[in-house]
Amino acid sequence: MNNPSSDVPIPAVEHIAGRATGTTAGDGRNNVATERGLPAGVSDEVIRIHIPVPRLSIPADIKLSELSREVAPRVRAFVRDVRKYFDFVRSGNHGSIRCLFLANALEGAAKTWHDDWTIARLQYTSEQLLEALLIRFAPQIQTRELEALEKLAAGQHQMRANETVAAYHSRFEALIAPIPDLREVDRIFWFIRGLSAEFSGECATDRDGKPFQEYTKLVQHTLGVEARQLAKLHSQAQTRVLLHASTAVQDPAPIITDDGDLPAPEVRPRAATAAAGRNTAHQASGAGMRRVLQFRAGSKLFNGVDMTGQLVSLPGLPYTADVWYDPPLVLGHLDTEPHVSVLCAKVAASTGPRVPLIGIRVAGHSLTAMADSGASDDFISASIVEQLVLKPQPASWSSVTLADGGKQVILGQVSLHISLGPLRLNVHPYVLPKFTDAATFILGSATLDQYGAHLNYETHTLQLRKGTLCYKAPFTTAERMGEGNTSAAHSEPCVNFAAAAI
């Protein structure tokens, strides 16, 4: 009886009604089959199926207030299943076996109660044990009929979320089963009362607008309403599929604003990935998905070619099309060995007009800076640090690699606030003893990437962005900076231009 299931033999061949009047000599199995009403030559076959054994487990810390609400339905169901189990299981009519089975089917508080109850008695039957179990854990304070009426009044029969009408009808019938004299009008009332909002309105009356007089017709009408609603949802889903599958379009021109630019991109959050939390060296170049193009409803995109090579459009329904762009993840600033791409080992290297030079201000001093996206960090001349009366702090690197492969000693690192138009930028440049004659500061990729720099060699501007504030700094030349060296702008610069743009 400790097994979780029992093997029950079930005949695979039904016995033929009646018995054969005579037997023939020969095979004994045929004679037995004939006597049992089976055709000659047919042996008795059985199919074994596994029937789960009923079990009842009640927590040891169960409260008295929880008996009627949670435990009582389970106990009543257990008693019902046990009685049905005894009806067909082998030796199910033996009293001692029944009692032993119940002793092993109870667990927790039910087992503790069983041991106390049985020890106090010398003789008892399985039915007495089941009745005592019901009295202890499923006390019937009032009749089942009153319990059912209270559940109806409390609305416990309400239709549940995503429950079908057939499932609701079955549950409703089980609830009102203990009420033998429930009138037809009461059945109709409580059935409609328990329907969800999507059914109660359409089931208040029949198709002729008259109240229902028969409960069965009400149930049939509700099933029909559900079938029509499901058919409508299925039709709408099919329509949406056809709309998405269609390729109709007109007017290939995107929506352009009055100033000639694309509309402001609509930003949707980028889906978070597990790798984002593990790799902090990568950062998003934009704010996730952005709409960069939009086609109005009824626009037409040529998406076919005929036999003569002419562009044609495929038929379909018009719809609005948006083109979204997801900026890729770019490699952010890494703690690599410092290097520059526009500064060479030549001591007095001059620069030409193709190198982006911009004017910046530091603590009231005007400086000329080079925008070098090929540089790993920011760099400043040691002479400027002396003018600003700053004390360089120890740096993690001792030298910087120049564009031609040469090396230069790093004297330390300082922290500055530089002004570029209305922008105020926080930078941490390395201090170099020797610099080019045209600039005393280098804006490297560390700062350019942080402030979203954009070098435009057509308009000769460097665009930086801080928050919602954006500024375009114009390029300048050595002559405009007042150095007075007119030959410097025309001489060959000693720089590496290949990596001087973003």
Claim to verify: residue 370 and residue 479 sit in the same structural domain = yes
Of 137, 156, 187, which one is at a domain's C-terminal end?
137
Q: Say which CATH number the domain at 407 has.
A: 2.40.70.10
pTM attached to this predicted model: 0.34
What are the C-alpha distances in Å from 209 to residues 48, 200, 214, 221, 308?
55, 14, 14, 13, 63
Q: What 3-state class would DSSP assign to 272?
A: coil
pLDDT tens-digit readout, 69-118 = 678 888 888 999 998 888 877 766 788 888 898 999 999 988 999 999 99
Claim to verify: residue 370 and residue 318 sit in the same structural domain = no
What would the 3-class secondary structure string for 120-175 be?
Answer: CCCCCCHHHHHHHHHHHHCCCCCCHHHHHHHHHHHCCCCCCCCCCHHHHHHHHHHH
Claim to verify: residue 403 and residue 492 sit in the same structural domain = yes
> Residue 269 domain-assigned?
no
Query: Which residues span the domain enclosing 23?
Result: 5-137
Q: How far apart are CA 379 and CA 387, in angstroms?
A: 16
Claim to verify: residue 203 and residue 318 sit in the same structural domain = no
Percent of the chain clearing pLDDT 90 (strictly above): 12
Claim to verify: residue 364 and residue 409 sit in the same structural domain = yes
State the first-to-last Cα distance of the chain, in angstroms, to the nearest integer: 80
Asked if residue 494 lies in contact with residue 344, where contact means CB atoms within 8 angstroms, the answer is yes
Closest CA to 445 of 338, 357, 315, 360: 338
Claim to verify: residue 108 and residue 14 sit in the same structural domain = yes
Bridge partners of residue 369, in order along the sequence: 358, 441
Claim to verify: residue 192 and residue 213 sit in the same structural domain = yes
Claim to verify: residue 179 and residue 294 sit in the same structural domain = no
Average pLDDT over residues 204-216: 88
What's the confidence (pLDDT) of residue 480?
A: 43
Q: How many domains does the chain have?
A: 4
What's the confidence (pLDDT) of residue 447?
A: 87
Bridge partners of residue 322, in order along the sequence: 294
Of 110, 137, 164, which one is at a domain's C-terminal end?
137
Claim to verify: residue 66 and residue 151 sit in the same structural domain = no
Strand order in 454-456's β-sheet? 454-456, 461-466, 469-474
Claim to verify: residue 374 and residue 456 sit in the same structural domain = yes
> Residue 319 domain-assigned?
yes
pLDDT tens-digit readout, 427-486 = 999 998 887 777 888 888 888 888 888 888 778 888 888 888 888 888 886 444 444 444
Asked if residue 429 lies in contact with residue 413, where contact means CB atoms within 8 angstroms, the answer is yes
Claim to verify: residue 326 and residue 219 sit in the same structural domain = no
Q: How far apart are CA 496 and CA 406, in angstroms?
A: 13
> What is the residue-wise DSSP string for 169-200?
HHHHHHHHTT-TT--HHHHHHHHHHHS-HHHH
> Residue 257 domain-assigned?
no
What's the confidence (pLDDT) of residue 78?
A: 92
Claim to verify: residue 23 and residue 46 sit in the same structural domain = yes
Q: What 3-state class would DSSP assign to 20?
A: coil
What's the confidence (pLDDT) of residue 214?
A: 92
What's the confidence (pLDDT) of residue 236?
A: 78
What's the confidence (pLDDT) of residue 342?
A: 62
